[in-house]
Amino acid sequence: MLIELAALGSGDANENPSREQAAGPIELLTRIPTKWRQRHADDALLALARAWPVLPHESRRLALALGRDRWLHAARSLAEENDADARIAVLSLGMDTADPGLGKIVCRLLRDEEQRVRQLADEVVLRMGLRPLRAIPSEVLGEHYARIANTPVIAFPADPDVLELERSVLLRAVADAAWGFAAHRCRSPLIVTLLLMDHPWANRMEREISTRMRRLLSQRNHPSHAPLRSVLKRTDCPLLRERALRWLSIDAISSAALDRLRVAESGVEHRLVLERSALALRPKRGVKLGTVSSPRLRTTSAGMLPEPARWNEYSERARVGIITLDALLGDDDVTRRGRIEPALADASVLVRLRASSLCPAIDLADYIFDHDPSVARHAAFRWSTLGIEAPRVDSPACVSRIKLCDLSTRSPHAQVRGFAIDERARLSVTDPHHPASRLRARRAYESDPSGTIRILRDRLAIPASCVDTITMIRMLGIEKRFELDLIGLLQNEHTDHRARASAVAALSRVDTNAARYVLSESVQSGDDRTRANAIELAPMPADSLIEFRDDPHHRVRANAIRRVIDTCVETDQKLAHDASGSLIELLGDPRPMHRLAGAWVAQRVVTNGSRDRLGARWSPIIAQLEELAATDENPVLRERATRCIHRLSEEIRAASTRSQTGASDVA
């Protein structure tokens, strides 16, 4: 009956007929029943509102159809009454409808003198504030808050656009209640504020209100700030742990946010933070997380990161987050290695790549052998000593790294093989063909001469590395320290011919009787390369050298002819004449390698300054070179002969220019 009586005023509420003149007495008398119905309809609606807690569910839904504006007006009237039951009825109406239009009334009742009213108002604020979050998964809000947000409502018939505007009024009222916590001491406005301040609002007014809510985080001395920190740390809502990671960069609340992050009560809380781990890459957040050290995380899932046994329960993005946050925490290497150890066998390339970027250096060797080229390449680059100081040559770490380099040279990935070769050169002191190894050898010899010599001497005893070691000794200029070793190599019949030839070249820089004697014996060696080096470097008189001008090997002949011409062209014309004749024969030899050796000799002894000393041999040599440059079948020989002729032409032209300039100066 009350609903029917209240409905009598619904049809006349919007009737405002326009009149051009005042109503007459008769008309006024005839409108008395209408005014009576309207007055009693409003009283009936007010009675319904006062009795709302005891209305049946069907009656409540029917009563709300009387009009939203009328109900809001009735609620405002009841909220001003002194009767606590009337105010509780208003709050019950707000609990059932969760209408944002009642937001200001409910937030004002948070300061009510009656304890029952304040408690119920606290619950209604939470109910209204969580309503916009009902689309969020229940596991994210937590069981308690998800149940509140998803409880069905008995909605007023209203335009959605109007409700959107009214929601801004509700948010403003909640923000005011959060800033005024000292006046009511209710937690719901703080909880709603924490949950809604980072919500992605589409309305400009709502975004402005959320900005005002967020300003409360940095107000360290405000009375509402201490309870806000307490709510952030102790509220059982997984979403707040993700919010704590966001607010870690705000100094005023960072300590409370860090306390909230230290402990996760469920896998959902872990997942929310891990999937937002990119936020921790900001340096300010990273510094805060670096203060967390908790070795117990290896055996429990209640810490900041989940235990390794639950690795596969999380998504790929969350597993990447475990690695990211693990690198920022201040734990020891043993704890960190144990926590991200499952990443080595993870099926995701992205996870393994991230692990190779942030894992301890001791684990990089395992990622170098990954089947994915990007993971292996990144691990190899990070493992290398490029840009940093390598370990000492004689240290176990250096030996271990060299062994791993040798294994990595057999990698299926080309870039990893390249890294391994370069890294081995940076670690080794016996690779003369790589500039990094040569630099390494020089620095090692400067810092530890005896240790470097011991290493090189050990490498000399290995046939596979003997030649390179001798070359490195020559580059370092320390042949004197290895005189006995070089002599032993030359006198050993089982020494490789290349090593013997290199030993001859190195021993030629040692000025001792023993070295000279061994070099003179090497002139008669059966190996052509060794004999050629000895002819080129051994201290021998010219009359002994000229005997080798008819040697069957082109290098021996070329070295003997060059040395005789260089040493005898001014002292012994006869020997120089004979050597020049041998050079002409060498240039005209039918064998290509002998002609090439002759061109090599001509490049070194035939100059514009030696023209007078060579005498009659000059023209035949030049003619032979011109013929080789023009007609020889060997392109290398043609190029060498051509270069020799061009050099001579430039020297002659430069000498002619100087002579003409000198004559003009004299004139």
Give the separation between CA 612 and CA 615, rounded to whole angstroms.
5
Average pLDDT of span 498-502: 90
Give the separation between CA 441 and CA 474, rounded to whole angstroms.
12
Give the single-character DSSP code of 479: G
Identify which of 349, 286, 279, 346 has the alpha carbon closest to the alpha carbon of residue 314. Answer: 346
What percentage of residues in the chain have a pLDDT greater than 70?
Answer: 91
Give the separation between CA 196 and CA 214, rounded to whole angstroms.
9
pLDDT digits (tens, 9 = 90+) for 402-415: 999 999 999 999 99
Structure tokens at 584: 């002409």
**Which pLDDT value is given to residue 393?**
86
What DSSP assignment string belongs to 395-427?
SHHHHHHHHHHHHHTT-SSHHHHHHHHHHHHHH
Structure tokens at 396: 């176990």
pLDDT of residue 423 exceeding 60: yes
SS3 158: coil
Q: Are 442 and 474 in contact (CB under 8 A)?
A: no
pLDDT of residue 184 exceeding 50: yes
Which residues lie closer than 8 Å to 477 by C-beta, 6 or more apart? 509
**Which pLDDT value is given to residue 569?**
57
Euclidean distance between the first and the last CA atom of the chain, given in angstroms as a whole number = 140
Residue 646's CB is within 10 A of a number of other CB atoms, namely: 11
pLDDT of residue 25 exceeding 70: no
Structure tokens at 37: 């119905």
SS3 322: helix
pLDDT of residue 320 exceeding 60: yes
For residue 393, which phi and psi values (nearest 5 degrees)? -60, -40
Domain ranges of the chain: 551-667
pLDDT digits (tens, 9 = 90+) for 117-155: 999 999 999 999 999 898 889 999 999 999 999 999 988
Give the separation between CA 188 and CA 119, rounded to whole angstroms.
10
How wide is the angle at C-alpha 515 spanned by C-alphas 510 and 520, nearest 5°?
125
Structure tokens at 14: 């919007």
Quote the distance between the C-alpha of residue 409 and its chain's center.
Answer: 25
For residue 444, which phi and psi values (nearest 5 degrees)? -65, -40
**Which pLDDT value is given to residue 572?**
67
Q: Are 638 and 595 in contact (CB under 8 A)?
A: no
pLDDT digits (tens, 9 = 90+) for 467-482: 999 999 999 999 999 9
pLDDT of residue 580 exceeding 90: no
How wide is the angle at C-alpha 565 spanned by C-alphas 562 and 568, nearest 5°?
140
Q: Are 292 and 330 in contact (CB under 8 A)?
A: yes
**Which pLDDT value is given to residue 33?**
56
Q: Are 604 and 567 in contact (CB under 8 A)?
A: no
pLDDT digits (tens, 9 = 90+) for 229-274: 999 999 999 999 999 999 999 999 999 999 999 988 889 999 999 9
pLDDT band at 296 (very low <50, low <70, confident <90, very high): very low
What average pLDDT does the structure give for the chain?
Answer: 86
What percentage of residues in the chain have a pLDDT greater than 90?
Answer: 44
Give the separation between CA 340 and CA 324, rounded to whole angstroms.
10
